[in-house]
Chain A
Amino acid sequence: MSGEHPSERLIERYVAGSPAIAAASSPAVVAVGEPDAPADELWALEAHLEACRVCRDRLSVVVPARAPAVATLVGTVWSGLEPRLTATSQAPRRRRLGVRLPVRLSGWLTPVMVPWLAMAASVTVIALLLDLFGTGGGTGRVPLVLLLAPVLPVLGVAASWSRGLDPAYELTASVPGAGLPLVLRRTASVLAVLVPALLVGGWVTGVMVAQWLLPCLTFTSATLALGGLVGVTRAAVALVAVWAAVIVAPGLATTSGTVFTLRDGSLPVWGLLLALATGVVIARRGAYFVLGTHR
């Protein structure tokens, strides 16, 4: 807004009313007619008043003195409106305590993801407890946290973009805000919950961060990459099966300490897979804009 404001006189003339205003505004203004405010001046003034709070305040100061009829009309309308306004504005405020938080977070996760995340987090805690108290049935020295790390986020990711689990999936897929950024936001929120939990678990059981973080990210990324091709739910199921066959089974069978797939030497392989999966996700980002071909 420029620094220019209408003169006091112009505002007074506006309050007093003119035939041009009379045609456009309330009947209360019609009574006192002063014909010397041209239509374009009026238009400019009203446009300015709509945007300028200072001048609206100046106007409201002038009104009671110059146009008592308008002032009483406004007073009547206001007194009729006030009780209803207080009644309606309180209704939403009452909810604010319990419900606001998830709604503010809805840009990051959907309500259906919450139970899945809770489950993944509690599995982490249980695994950690089993590790700590040494009852991790027959795993030898392979911490359960390490075994579970890759597959936990897969569950959350599956719930974040799945046709079967998310009731609003079709609606979400049809909006301009859909696509990879939204999927990544939801994935990030899954990781934001699980990575700290795993971090604590890894620290307590003395596992190197890269040892679980890389498989964890690789599986997450692979879920999305495969999900773009066959649907996220199917991808998650397939990857959990792969995880069970390649990591858990040898992990439970072996007594020699570390499983090959989670040994330090395998980290470059995990890194390579992660890069590959990320590449596929980026190359096929358009797939997150359309409906999956299955449920």
Chain B
Amino acid sequence: MTRAVSAAEIATTTSAWQIRATGLQVRAGRKRMAVDGLDLSLGTGVHGLLGPNGAGKTTLIRALATVLRPAGGTLELFGESVGGLGEHRALRRRIGYLPQEFGYYKRFTVREFVEYLAWLKEVPKSDIPAAVQRAVERVGLADRADERMKGLSGGMVRRVGIAQAIVNDPAILLLDEPTAGLDPAQRLRFRELLQELGTDTCVAVSTHLVEDVAAACTDVVLFVGGRLAFQGTPDELASAGGPEHAGDSPLERGYSALLLGSESERGSWRTSMCCASSRGAPSLPGRAW
């Protein structure tokens, strides 16, 4: 009796963290350093990447997806260093990625598109139909699987994007703004899926919606100006804010408090100190949002 356990399934991880960055620098475009000196370690669980627009979230996720190469510092995925012009094929087979601008082919049906991506992700040919069906069912599109992509609503297209990201059962799942375009009910369903995936996968979700983080994430990473401003549980984020800070919920107040703190730190003091330890970032009371 043969048991189909692939080498990838039983491979020991050489690192305690699926993602580990030290002093990471990544360029966006030619000149701008969008990620600048980031220290970050992410293990199994759902990590919410929070930050204002232009904080470098997308650039960071692209670097984690190995489509952008670090300009400085080190980035390790599964303990393997990423950099240079290496191909990282084995590494990429264990990564799922949903880009912010999720492009697709309109003529393809949902199933065909996810099949195509499964093929590109080098899922073994005999496993593709089952893997595609499972992914499509997980995002709740089983009944629309044979419809063409051009007939789908924005929320459904996003769900196809999530389906293609999980079709290869990734150990690192990178989702860039996955909740954009989802209606509230879909968003709830999506959070459930995230929690389910987070039990055995390292999920990094970038978002600018604080409530997404509160509901689905085990860990919050606040990212400002290309650097880590805060990493901790949603509760810790909430406790950073006080009644004097802007926001409707404790989390939002915590978010604005930390944002304020890290901005003033960078803006007026020009400190070169890394912000990794700024969990209790000093908040300046009285400053308007």
**Chain A interface residues toward B at CB < 8 A:** 44, 47-48, 51, 91-92, 95, 99, 102-103, 106-107, 110-112, 166-179, 182, 284-287, 289-291, 293-294
Contacts and interface: CB of A to CB of B under 8 A. Distances in A.
B11 interface: no
Nearest to A47: B1
B102 A287 contact: no
Contact of A106 (B2, B85, B89, B116): B116
B109 A99 contact: yes
A48 B67 contact: no
Interface string B69-92: 100000000000000111111111
A155 to B, nearest CB: 19
A231 B251 CA distance: 43
Contacts of A103: 108, 112, 115-116
Contacts of A176: 88-93, 120-122
A175 B92 contact: yes
B103 interface: yes
Nearest to B28: A293
A68 to B, nearest CB: 30
Contacts of A177: 119-122
B115 to A, nearest CB: 8
B192 interface: no
A286 B84 contact: yes
A110 B107 CA distance: 11
Given A48-B1, A289-B85, A170 B99 contact: yes
Nearest to B112: A103
B184 interface: no
Contacts of A110: 105
A289 B97 contact: no
A30 to B, nearest CB: 26
A188 B237 CA distance: 54
A293 B66 CA distance: 14
B164 interface: yes
A162 to B, nearest CB: 12
A41 to B, nearest CB: 13
A144 B2 CA distance: 63
Nearest to A163: B103
Given A51-B2, A111-B108, A167-B104, A289 B117 contact: no
Interface in B121-174: 121-122, 146, 164
B62 interface: yes
B60 interface: no
A293 B120 contact: no
Query: 4 tightest CB-CB pairs across the interface, nearest first?
Result: A286-B85, A167-B103, A176-B92, A175-B120
A78 B139 CA distance: 27
A290 B62 CA distance: 9
B107 A111 contact: yes
A175 B121 contact: yes
Contacts of A293: 27, 29-30
B248 interface: no
A88 to B, nearest CB: 9
A47 B4 CA distance: 12
Contacts of A51: 1-2
Given A47-B1, A48-B1, A107-B119, A174 B65 contact: yes
B120 A172 contact: yes
A174 B93 contact: no
B183 interface: no
Nearest to B3: A47
Nearest to A51: B1
Contacts of B146: 91-92, 95
A48 B108 CA distance: 40
Contacts of B122: 175-177
Contact of B103 (A92, A102, A166): A166
A284 B99 contact: no
Given A103-B112, A103-B116, A174-B99, A289 B87 contact: yes
A39 to B, nearest CB: 16
Instruction: Find the residue from A51, A91, A175, A287 having the highest chain B CB count within 10 A.
Output: A175
A291 B86 CA distance: 14
Interface in B1-56: 1-2, 27, 29-30
Contacts of B106: 111
A168 B106 CA distance: 11
11 contacts: A44-B1, A51-B1, A99-B109, A107-B119, A110-B105, A167-B103, A168-B103, A175-B120, A285-B85, A289-B66, A291-B67
B66 A174 contact: yes
